[in-house]
Every structure is written in C-alpha cells, then in structure tokens.
Structure 1
Amino acid sequence: MDRELPEGLFGAGVVGAPMAGGPSRPPLAEAVSASGGLGFLAGGYKAPDALAREVDELSATGLAFGVNLFVPADEPVDREAVLAYRERLRPLAERLGVELPEPRWADDDAYPAKLAHLLERRPAVVSFTFALPPAGDVASLRRAGVFVLQTVTSPDEARAAEELGVDGVVAQHAAAGGHFGAFLPAPAFAGPLPELVAAVRAAVGIPVLAAGGIGTAEAARAVRAAGAGAVQLGTAFLRTPEAGTNPVQRAALADPSFERTAQTRAFSGKTARGLENSFMREYADAPAGYPTVHYLTAPLRAAAVAAGDAQGTNLWAGTAWKEAREEPAADVVARFAV
C-alpha cells in the first residue's frame, strides 16, 4: 500500500521551494509555514554556522519547516574546458573591473557540518538535491524523527531514492526554475509535469510532491489529480515581500522585455533555468563543471547586480514566471492550497 504524506505537516498542500542564493530566507519560510504551507530554508552556498543560525531563528517560531541540502556530487570536471572558459570571461571581467578567482575545484565540503547541525536541531523535514546522500545520513535523520525528501526527475531516480530509504520524493520537471536536480544520466522526462508525477507515483510506494512550472491553481489541481500529495512552488514566491530576491531579478520578473526562459550552464556549470538574457546567449556553450563555474562567475554576477544590469546575472525562474505576482506569501499559499 502506498504511503501518504504525514497528516498536518503538509496541511495546505503547498511547499515553498528551497531557493539557494538569497530568496529562501527565514522570513519567507516563516510566512509560508504560518499560512498553512511548509516553508523551506536553502542550505546551498551557506556556511554551516550561518545555516545553523537560520534554523535556530526559524525554530524559535514553533512552526514546522524544512531545510534543503545540496549533496556533493562526484562528477568529473574538464579542467581544460573550465580554464578556457575563464579566459573567455576575462575581457568581461576587465570591463566590469573585477578579478576572476582561481578555479575552486572542490564541491560543497561543508556538507558534513551542515548535516551535523540538522541532526542536532531536527527540523521537521530535510530534503536533498543534486545527488543521493549516503544511506547512513538518511537513516540518521529518520531516527531523529525528520521526514526525508529527495529531489528526482524520473521514475528511475525515484526508485533509487526509495531504495535508499527516503520518506518521499519531489518530482521536479525541467520547467522548474533554477538548477535541475537530475542525478542519473538520462534525457529529461519528455511529457508534462502531470505525466511525470503519474509515472513516478506508479514507480514507487512513497509520497510524491510535484515541482516545476506550476503557475496557476489549475496547474496545481492537475498535478494533484495525477497523484501529487503537495505542490512545491519556487518562482511563485520570488516577488513576495518576504523573499530575499535581489532587486535586479525582482524587476526582471515583471519586465515584459523578457520573453522566455531557457536552460543554461553559463552561470554555474550545471543546467539551470532562468529568464533568457544576453549572458546566457553569449555563453550558451559554457562547459559543465559545478560548482567550479558557479564560483568563477560569482564576481561577474555580483557586479551586474550592483550595476542594476539584468543582462549580466542569473535570473532563475520557471516557465510559468509570468504568473508570479507581487503579493504576500500568505496569498500565494492561499491561491494554491488544497
């Protein structure tokens, strides 16, 4: 018999997606949870102590919430390609007056410390993205009473996650904004999100959440009808006052001159979807190499944000970005609630 989501924890059936890099700050997570959804903190790119402080801040509210961790993936990096990309970026860096850093080849080596903080603090939910965590980490969290989720992009990934022992999976469609969480070498699921949800639901006996391109209540109803126990929304929250979305991205989301989203490796070395801008077009052939490319382009992106230049920084957004509104997070939860 298929398991269902814990009663009460996902009450409104709305999850605030963990968006690393600023948007998913404590005020947004608190607002989502206080409105009957489940707010999330994003652990990606944060120092362990900074993440611990945010968890402590949110824990003090007494609300249930989740925390997401990027799992370091042992992916080969073509060093020569990354170094050549660095040289291609050098003229832009000189125009902006910034220094390109030496390549940082290691992944997020702070993962063990972040996990230790979460085992000590025991948030209601911990989710993993980019790769499967060690089985021992999942078992330790579950013994601590934490509900464990894994981001998957296909039925095969869902089966692997279930075998690992997680409590549920987030079925992420390629329409999602930000980084694509695939960890098995296979083409992206070809059908729409409801079909992905149905396929994942048929493949596993654990709860399935849906993510990617959900911009309307009708879209949310469609994925719930396909078997999703809850919807995970990211882009829908980016224009809320509680989100830590930088002003350049916030303005771009409402700018009619942006006509489409596209997937790119130009900013981070890992496939991610955002509003298509000139940086993405110019460096469409950027090499794979996460997080090396992410750290390499960081000063360029920071300079673009400082200058108010939406053409020179990542503008992560899903395909339904035009549906995102400038409204309180509570209103977003209400629009998409069960």
Structure 2
Amino acid sequence: MKPTYLLALLLFLSLARPAAAQMYSTTDPFAHTFSIVARDPATGEMAVAVQSHWFSVGTSVSWGEAGVGVVATQSFTNKSFGLRGLALLKGGKTAQQALDELLSNDEGRDVRQVAILDNQGRVATHTGKKCVDMAGHQQGAQFSVQANMMLNASVWPAMAKAYEANAKLPLAERVLAALDAAQAAGGDVRGRQSAALLVVRGTATEGPWADRLIDLRVDDSAAPLPELHRLLSLDRAYDHMNAGDLAVEKNDMPTAIREYQAAEKMFPQNLEMKYWHAITLANKQQVPAALALLKPIFKQEPNWRVLTQRLPKVGLLTVTDAELKQILAL
C-alpha cells in the first residue's frame, strides 16, 4: 500500500470516529477478502480458507487449533482475535460466546469481519456495519462464508452454494470449491494476490506438530487459487511419499512401491518422487526396472547420482557392489 493512500485512510478514520475510538492499529493489516470456516461432520476436521488482494493474507486471517476450532479475522484485521478466540474456545466458550467477548470491548467492531467455528460445528459471524461494500456473510450447517470489498453481493451466496453442493469432497477440496465460486462470481473488487488453506484435526493428539493436517499459503501470485490447488495436490502426493518412507522403515517394500508409484502418478515430472520409487525397486531386487527410472533422472540432474553413492552407507540402498557400479555408470 502506498504511503499516501495509507495516510488518506488514516485521516478518514480519524474523522469518522473520535480519536479515543481508534479502529486501526499499525500492527493490524488490512485484509479485505473472502473466506470460509467449516467443519467436516464425518471426520471432525476443521478448516479455514481465504483469498484476498493483499500480500500474505494467510498470516493475518487464518487461525486454527486441533480439537478447538478455527477463526477468520478480516476487513480491518485484528490479529489478536485469532489467538484470543481460540483461547476462549479452549476455555469452554461456544463460538458465539467467544465472538461476543471479542467484540464487547473492541472499538473497531464496526469495521471488523470475524467468523468463528468451534469443535462442535457451531458458528458465529460478525460483519461490521462499516465494512466496505459489498460485504456480508452467510451461515450454513457447520460452516460460515464471509466477504467484504467484493465486486458484488453475489459472492458469499455463491460460496455457500458451492460448499453445500460439494459435500462428497474431502474438506480441503470442498472449501477450495467455495473460494473458486467466490472468484467466479466476481471476487474482490481489486483483484487477487494471495490465498491460504488451513485444516486441523477434530481432536488433538499427543503430537501437536501433526495436528495441522494441511497448512498451505500462496503469498503473492497473479492466480493464487490455481496455485493453491496445485499445492494441495502436491501435498496429497507427498502424503504418499511419507507413507512410502514409513513402509521402507518397516521393510515393507511392496507397500513402499505402491505408495511411491501413487505419488509419481500425481506428479510425473517430480524427480524426487521418481528417484525414491527407483531406489525402492532396486532394494527389492528389481534393478533393471530401477535403472530405467534412474537413467533419465541422472541425465537431468547429476547430483542424484552423487546422492546414490551415499545411500549404501546408511542402509537406504541394499544392492550388491556390482549392481551399485551398474547404477552409477548410467
């Protein structure tokens, strides 16, 4: 945002309300945007997804914690609503109770837009009366869609319709379908720049590092939603890669091969996926098949050959010396 534009906005706000009722803080970014919070009743997973014409919108709008809930805080964003909202939910408040408490002493409530979803699927949404048109929200069964500074007032109804129509999709793909519908209906009046997707478990585990199932951001792009779709597909492919790695640890080579093949099929140009598929084949005494995969990999990027030399030392490549020489000679 250009300094002159920011100064003009601040001047407008100072004239619109008394100085004691400041609505904007330099620590809180503008995030005029559209978003969705939702819970999958079958799995309990919860998601928040967002797109905006603003840099790195996911660092401001999207908040979530496994077993607790998700929050989207936007328009004249109050970032504290994310952590404070989750803390209130964790303390036993419902989504509506948490939202009411957040807004109760917020002098900027008229320019806020906030959506909260708790682990029971209850939603609470607020669109301040001074959010920039077109602005509004719509709630449904265990979800809420909200938008401000949109090209037209059909954006958030289109989001709700798309979300409800795609009930058979996994939650991540379903909320992205809602974002796609928003963009197709007109989206942000300024255009598009960034997007984010966060999915957390319905129940917290003993390993909180694994409780964020999906955490993807496109911070700056001419087409953030297509890129977010690509990243989600890549994330799904690497789930197969991780499952293949786990199978290798358990010496379950047939499963490892199946998982690596599934990943490679999703992203056939990804050398990483092809490479570990090939190494697994070699470890299963299928060296000719491994050679066929490794030859174009080594040709495209010789450093994979360097890596291959290092694998026998740590037990990740268990071929004979003769077979190793054959592989390295490719």
TM-score, with structure 1 as normaliser: 0.25
Greater Rg over alpha carbons, structure: 2
Higher relative contact order (CA 8 A, sep 6+): 1
More helix by percentage: 2
More strand by percentage: 2
